[in-house]
Amino acid sequence: MSAGLVTGRRPSVVVLDYGFGNVRSAVRALERVGADVELTADRARAQDADGLVVPGVGAFAAVMQGLRAVRGHEIVGRRLAGGRPVLGICVGMQVMFEQGDEHGTLADGLGEWPGLVDRLEAEIVPHMGWDTVDAPEGTVLFDGIQDERFYFVHSYAARSFPLGDDVPSGSSIRRPLVTWSDHGGRFVAAVENGPLSATQFHPEKSGDAGAALLENWVRTL
């Protein structure tokens, strides 16, 4: 895999700067795969970019507070309503769900997906290090890298994904593509749902495999 394979105009990507996340490493990783990247909380810039990345590190409730402080919830909602691509990373993925439960305290998320983010049921928490994923047929994010390992560091995750379960077989409605991993039980490792994609792991810390995933996403912009 070589970086910078996107041809023609470099897609514009805003990494949302709201005080939470390994933003510099994400910016560098996206630049290496051919994006024109800006780190900002400016609403107009975030709204107009070809792609928006929502990073996140730390507690679910604190990340939501940071997002609301820069009206990130409105930015994400309006982009998705207009079919504009958004990529959530780590807690930036978790807050796409309805709620997070940390230490018995529930916090509301962005509500783009139904479901709950809660503590992993494993002997060793946090789940930290390289791990495999089980990607579905038709995945774009994991095209060519289904068998690779990715870098995780988290204590909480969504352990179910009910959206699309009621879509009958053979329906023209496309179900979200859900990628799973396992640590004391399976959990959601990534989702591809129309313009909204997200990963529980850190692609910017996942070496060549993570770079390939980011390149796959940038190619869709």
Catalytic residues: 90, 202, 204
State the pairing for strand pair 156-158/149-154: unpaired
CA distance readout (Å), 95 to 57, 64, 91, 156, 189: 11, 7, 6, 11, 14
Angle between helix 23-32 and helix 207-219 axes, rounded to 10 deg: 70
The DSSP output letter for 204 is: G
3-state secondary structure of 201: coil
Element (H, E) at 107: strand 105-108
For the chain, where are the alpha helices, taking DSSP H only?
23-32, 43-48, 60-69, 72-81, 91-94, 207-219
For residue 95 the two structure tokens come to 């807050």
CA distance readout (Å), 35 to 9, 28, 42, 127, 131: 9, 10, 18, 30, 27
Closest CA to 183 of 206, 198, 200: 200
d(Cα 193, Cα 34) in Å, to the nearest integer?
23
